[in-house]
Chain A
């Protein structure tokens, strides 16, 4: 049953990626080398389309994505660096266009928040482990221990008898 479910899920995933790949509509940009083309593709994968917000510039078929791809292509042809191209887009559309947001005061929470939470969780865990160890050591009073010894003694002696 579980195996069947897993295969169905895997098939769905495969189908999904197939559709996503079929959806990529790259205009026929001309590149001199394959490396250049790969460079362009990598760059537009990193940039987010503002119209369909969960798609990259590479994936989106929105009118604006077409225009921005052409813009990025033009800038690459002019020999602009990646940093210059990214700066061009950020100056107009903000950090929102970046799938990889820069580290700055407004994004500290985003970047470091999870680590802070992890540290807090680790501290709490450590504390509760320590407490448990302490209580475990003091769990039994002397009277209880005496009773326990007596009980243990009786069981071991009864065992001895059986053997």
Chain B
């Protein structure tokens, strides 16, 4: 797995309209310069927002990728929740500190701190 490469691809896509154009025209080719596993490549082509979140892609990068694919806000949030249900806890990156940064875990923490 190469979370850094996945995020780098998305970072460059998010900030550059010519990269967006290349990805629209031929996603496989747009991804060819990045050192990705077949699973990562597939998630980026599909796009599988839930799986990308499970990989550990930062939401500040992922939400723009979702918006680029015209995924509405609530749908974006749901896809991440579904991804965690299907694939398990976030496995790397900032959210992996708690393994699963999810709504029930959060509410449990809040009720404990009150």
A-B interaction? no
Which A residues form the contact surface with B (CB < 8 A)?
Answer: none
